[in-house]
Amino acid sequence: MESFTITSKKVLTLVLVIDKAKQMVLLGYKKRGFGAHLWNGFGGKVEPGETTREGALRELEEEAGITVKSEDFKKAGILLFQFENDPVALETHVYKSYEFQGQIRECEEMRPQWFAFANVPYDQMWEDDQIWLPMLLNGQDPFYGRIYLKRKPVEDIQEGETTAAVNTSTSTHVNHSTTMTGTSFTTAQPKSGPFAMWDYQLVHSLQGVPHEIALDGTIASFEN
Ligand SMILES: Nc1ncnc2c1[nH]c(=O)n2[C@H]1C[C@H](O)[C@@H](COP(=O)(O)OP(=O)(O)OP(=O)(O)O)O1
């Protein structure tokens, strides 16, 4: 019996930098931590005292070495990630920019690389990315999505995927990891992470930009 009831949430960010002329998107290969060995946008937890916008810009600079001017930095939407039997959801604020300044560089956590829209490696990304990323790339934002994820059965987990689950240290998902304790994989070439998407709801081309999601999963407020 699935339980996706949530009682609290953590606020995260996710940034997609796009070269509109070349129809390419900048992704990062996550080398460690939650979501390790998957390609994703740049982002992470929002620190105390930061706005989501400030946190997103900070993570982009830390993880890809680049900055974006405030006027070019647009909120594309919010994704609420809910995990089976985990009362803590991840409210992830998604931003996009068609411009950036600085030199793209690799860091300890992420290896950035440009991908043509037609060659985005969805089979090596969070499974939900194939639902909402094409909408973002096609300009069908703002959007709001609710994504329900279930831990994959152990036999379906590929080599390396445990790294993504077990190395979550400060993240919400330590409880999910416990079922994996004792399993040891050494190579790191997973396909789409240790969680499978169970269901989703996505509303795109919204009239307003969502600002916050309530614990019942509805949009609590829009940006001014
Ligand atoms: N399901 C799914 N699809 C797409 N993107 C994500 C998910 N779940 C996620 O958590 N994410 C994104 C949201 C964030 O951008 C990152 C996760 O952030 P994380 O690396 O845990 O945060 P940091 O602050 O960088 O972590 P530390 O390593 O510093 O603790 O993935």
174-221 per-position pLDDT tens digit: 222 222 222 222 233 345 678 999 999 999 999 999 999 999 999 999
ipTM of this complex > 0.90?
yes
Nearest Cα residue to atom 20 of ligand 1: 44
Residue 164 alpha carbon to ligand 1 centre in Å: 11
pLDDT per residue as tens digits for the range 40-60: 999 999 999 999 999 999 999
Of 130, 107, 98, 145, the C-alpha closest to 30 is 107
Whether residue 188 contacts residue 175, with contact meaning beta carbons closer than 8 Å, is answered with no
Q: Which atom of ligand 1 is nearest to the CA of 43?
A: 15
Distance between CA atoms of residues 23 and 115, nearest Å: 9
Of 205, 213, 211, 206, the C-alpha closest to 224 is 211
Predicted confidence at residue 193, as pLDDT, reads 72
Nearest Cα residue to atom 7 of ligand 1: 126
Predicted confidence at residue 191, as pLDDT, reads 58
Nearest Cα residue to atom 8 of ligand 1: 81
Query: What average pLDDT does the chain have?
Result: 86
Residue type, 28: G
User: Percentage of the chain with pLDDT > 90?
Assistant: 79
| 207-to-12, 77, 95 alpha-carbon distances in Å | 23, 11, 16
Pocket test for ligand 1, best of 92, 122, 130, 198 (most atoms within 8 A of CB): 92
Query: For ligand 1, which residues put their CB under 6 angstroms from it?
Result: 12-14, 33-35, 40, 43-45, 81, 90, 92, 126, 128-129, 147, 170-171
Residue with tokens 């973002």: 136
Q: Which long-range contacts (CB under 8 A, 24 or more apart) does 174-181 make?
A: 175/85, 175/86, 176/83, 176/86, 176/151, 179/151, 179/154, 180/154
Distance between CA atoms of residues 75 and 57, nearest Å: 12
Pocket test for ligand 1, best of 34, 91, 151, 202 (most atoms within 8 A of CB): 34
pLDDT per residue as tens digits for the range 194-207: 899 999 999 999 99
Residues 6+ away with beta carbon under 8 Å from 124: 37, 38, 39, 190, 191, 192
Residue 104 alpha carbon to ligand 1 centre in Å: 20
Predicted confidence at residue 99, as pLDDT, reads 98
Domain limits, the chain: 8-222
Instruction: Please give the CATH superfamily to which domain 8-222 belongs.
Output: Nucleoside Triphosphate Pyrophosphohydrolase (3.90.79.10)
Distance between CA atoms of residues 211 and 224, nearest Å: 9
Element holding 175 (H helix, E strand): helix 174-177
